[in-house]
Structure 1
Amino acid sequence: MIEIHPEARISPLADIEDSVRGTRILIGAGSAVDSFVKFKPAGGSGDVLIGERTVINSGCVLYTGNGIRIGSDVAIAANCTFAPVNHAYQDKSRRINQQGFLPGKGGIVIEDDVWIGANCVILDGAILRQGCVIGAGAIVRGEIAAYTVHAGNPLRQIGMRQ
């Protein structure tokens, strides 16, 4: 089920796929979804809930997996991936694409007033507390405290060689 508030702005070039498993995708008032954003029900039946006045910029991909909860007034830069799901891979007698998925780690929770920089990857079990900032190119898989900056790879952030 897809529910888009009448005051939300969705680009006609965004791709919001409806679920065959009952996953809900809800987009709140004043939120904006830019061109080439993809919502993909895959890897579970978790819901994607987006609060008010949240902006998701071009090229982002949101898999439903174990669910994504994004608060209000969140700014998400271009080309971010939200993957609240993990493939099973331990059985060497079967191909990975035939093993299904591992148990969930709680999905992804992003509280209000968060800024996520370009090209970030947010993984299952990530919790981004209110007011935190995620630097461009970061990978997040755990909890980020409120009003802190997560720089991802600090060497890349200051332009040093790796």
Structure 2
Amino acid sequence: MLVADNSARISKFADIDESTRGTKIRVGANSVIDSFVRIKCAGGTDDVVIGEHCFINSGTVIYSGNGVRMGDHVLIAANCTLAPVNHACRDRNQLIVEQRFSPSKGGIVIEDDVWIGAGSVVLDGAILRRGAVVGACALVRGELESYGIYAGNPLKKIGERT
């Protein structure tokens, strides 16, 4: 179920799934979901919560999975993927598709004033603390420090916002 503030702007070209399992998608005041953003209710039953004054650029895909919690003033550049879900694959005697999903690592938490660069991938269990910056094409797992600047793959802290 999509619940969006009246001031939120969601492009008519965005593709937002209607959940069959009760997942809610909330979009806060003055947030923008650009054309060709895909929000897919898959891999779990948790919610996608987008705070106020957020901007999600074209081509970004957000899976609901184990949940995405986004604070206020978050900027997500084009073609990013937020995937708070993990496929099970350990049993070689069973097809991967039959193994379903691994237990949650806590979903994805993105605090206020975070910027995620183009083409980045954010995985289940990632926590991006207030003010963090992620450079383009990064793979984000684990916790990023407040106001840290991160880039590369593997991801490394390269500086701090002062």
Q: TM-score range by the shorter chain?
A: over 0.9
Aligned residue number for residue 144 of structure 2: 144
C-alpha deviation, 1:94, in angstroms: 1.5
1:134 matched to 2:137? The reply is no
2:70 is aligned with what amino acid? I
C-alpha deviation, 1:152, in angstroms: 2.1
CA distance in 2, matches of 1:111, 1:143: 11
C-alpha deviation, 1:18, in angstroms: 1.1
1:103 is aligned with what amino acid? P
Aligned residue number for residue 45 of structure 2: 45
Instruction: Give the aligned CA root-mean-square deviation in angstroms.
Output: 0.9
CA distance in 1, matches of 2:96, 2:46: 22
What aligned pairs does 1:1-162 form with structure 2 within 5 A after superposition? Answer: 1-153=1-153
CA distance in 2, matches of 1:2, 1:11: 14
1:137 is aligned with what amino acid? C
User: Could you tell me the TM-score, scaled by structure 1's length?
Assistant: 0.93
1:69 is aligned with what amino acid? R
Task: Extract unaligned runs of 5+ from structure 2.
Answer: 155-162
SS at match of 1:62: strand
SS at match of 2:97: helix
2:67 is aligned with what amino acid? G
C-alpha deviation, 1:90, in angstroms: 1.2
Higher strand fraction (1 or 2): 2
Deviations 1:110-138 (A, max 9, x none): 00000000000000000000001000000
C-alpha deviation, 1:108, in angstroms: 0.1
C-alpha deviation, 1:83, in angstroms: 0.3
1:107 is aligned with what amino acid? G
CA distance in 2, matches of 1:153, 1:63: 22
C-alpha deviation, 1:65, in angstroms: 0.4
CA distance in 1, matches of 2:80, 2:57: 9
CA distance in 1, matches of 2:148, 2:88: 33
SS at match of 2:36: coil
How many matched pairs?
154
- List structure 1 runs of 4+ shifted beyond 3 angstroms: none
